[in-house]
């Protein structure tokens, strides 16, 4: 009787890993099936517009940026070109070299499809610039790299601010995030490997200093080892959690109280995807170690964690489990927790649609694409933040 529970756990882990690899394309020869399913459900095949089927079919610059990265990782040049063309034409006044993309586009009250909010979203902007720069290198298309460099210069000009007593840092957008001496920031907008890559391609920019500040920001802003969605910086007082600036919005991430939820879950994902030889990796993983401790005794990440570090009883959606798998695999002693999340993820794959979760939510699929693409070796990030891909 004694060994059987241990053997059963090993069997479940093996089954979950095999399921993950078989359903997401675990070998160099297999197509990336989740990317194919995502493309067919969320990207207009003619225009390259990424839309959220839930609600009003709107488009965000984040959706365009993520699709651009996934198309690059999947070596899907045709989709890459359509996505960047639509983004440039509809969100950036026809030229990403001179206009940061507007963050939201959709059907307005007058019935016309157009920009609904012209402010930029810097998380989308850095992923777009990164994907263009890396497409130029990997596909040997100088025009892509040139456009990425130009967008990077716009980001440095419009979305970077110097925090007194701390240093330069990426703002969440070009306007609305600085009020007097108070600056609002979003930790999930700061994947360290992107800024390490920017520092390599643009040594004269603020990127290296930003990169060196990201571990400090996470260490000082994570409460009880949990990342927060939004934080504010006050010189002399440091960082403290704040409510979502768009708390009146309709999206699932909008919270009227400070918490770690739909935005912050990406902090664990980015930490887990860092190159294992990056000297900053241990500090970043340690700063958000509360999630690993929680998952050692629970079957799913919580949907929300308040600013006192107290998790909600409501489990997060399936994308949350996907997001923490690379993070848990990067932490010694968390293999059982990683197996539990892998089993939960595998159990919620719909074989008909190829997507995850009962409602196949757009955001969940993005988190699953990052997680499973990384876990199955579709892509990695090098020591200097460069993208490494398996080309089919």
Q: List pLDDT tens digits, range 233-253.
A: 999 999 999 999 886 444 445
Q: pTM value?
A: 0.92
Q: List pLDDT tens digits, range 23-82.
A: 444 434 457 999 999 999 999 999 999 999 987 899 999 999 999 999 999 999 999 999
Catalytic one among 30, 44, 62, 196? 62
Q: List pLDDT tens digits, range 186-209.
A: 999 999 999 999 999 999 999 999
pLDDT of residue 30: 55
Q: Name all domains of the chain by residue range, CATH numbers in brackets.
A: 38-158 (1.50.10.10)
pLDDT of residue 249: 44
**How does DSSP assign 233-267, residue by residue?**
EETTTEEEEE--TTTTSSSTT--SS-EESTTTHHH
62 is catalytic: yes
Catalytic one among 76, 123, 196, 364? 123
Distance CA 183, CA 19 (A): 44
232 is catalytic: no
Q: Which residues of the chain have pLDDT under 70?
A: 1-30, 247-255, 391-392
């Amino acid at each position: 009787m004694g060994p059987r529970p241990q053997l059963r756990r090993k069997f479940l882990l093996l089954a979950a890993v095999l399921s993950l690899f078989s359903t997401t394309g675990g070998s160099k020869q297999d197509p990336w099936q989740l990317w194919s399913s995502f493309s067919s459900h969320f990207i207009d095949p003619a225009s390259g517009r990424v839309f959220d089927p839930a609600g009003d079919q709107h488009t965000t610059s984040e959706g365009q940026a993520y699709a651009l990265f996934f198309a690059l990782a999947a070596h899907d040049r045709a989709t890459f070109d359509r996505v960047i063309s639509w983004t440039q034409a509809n969100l950036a006044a026809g030229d990403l070299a001179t206009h940061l993309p507007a963050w939201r586009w959709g059907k307005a009250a007058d019935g016309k499809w157009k920009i609904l909010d012209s402010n930029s979203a810097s998380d989308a902007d850095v992923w777009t610039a990164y994907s263009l720069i890396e497409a130029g290198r990997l596909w040997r298309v100088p025009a892509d790299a040139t456009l990425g460099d130009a967008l990077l210069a716009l980001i440095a000009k419009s979305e970077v601010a110097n925090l007194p007593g701390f240093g330069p840092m990426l703002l969440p957008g070009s306007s609305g995030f600085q009020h007097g001496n108070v600056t609002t920031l979003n930790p999930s907008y700061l994947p360290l490997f992107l800024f390490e890559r920017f520092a390599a391609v643009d040594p004269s920019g603020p990127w290296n200093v930003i990169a060196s500040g990201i571990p400090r920001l996470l260490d000082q802003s994570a409460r009880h080892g949990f990342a927060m969605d939004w934080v504010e910086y006050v010189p002399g007082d440091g960082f403290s959690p704040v409510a979502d600036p768009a708390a009146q919005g309709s999206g699932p991430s909008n919270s009227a109280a400070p918490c770690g939820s739909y935005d912050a879950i990406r902090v664990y994902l980015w930490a887990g995807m860092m190159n294992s030889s990056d000297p900053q990796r241990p500090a970043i993983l340690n700063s958000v170690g509360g999630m690993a401790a929680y998952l050692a005794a629970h079957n799913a990440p919580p949907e929300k964690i308040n600013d006192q570090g107290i998790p909600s009883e409501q489990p997060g959606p399936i994308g949350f489990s996907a997001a923490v798998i690379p993070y848990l695999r990067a932490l010694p002693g968390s293999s059982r927790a990683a197996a539990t999340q892998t089993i939960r993820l595998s159990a919620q794959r719909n074989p008909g649609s190829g997507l995850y979760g009962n409602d196949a939510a757009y955001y969940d699929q993005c988190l699953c694409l990052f997680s499973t693409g990384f876990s199955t070796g579709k892509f990695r990030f090098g020591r200097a933040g460069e993208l490494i891909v398996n080309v089919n």
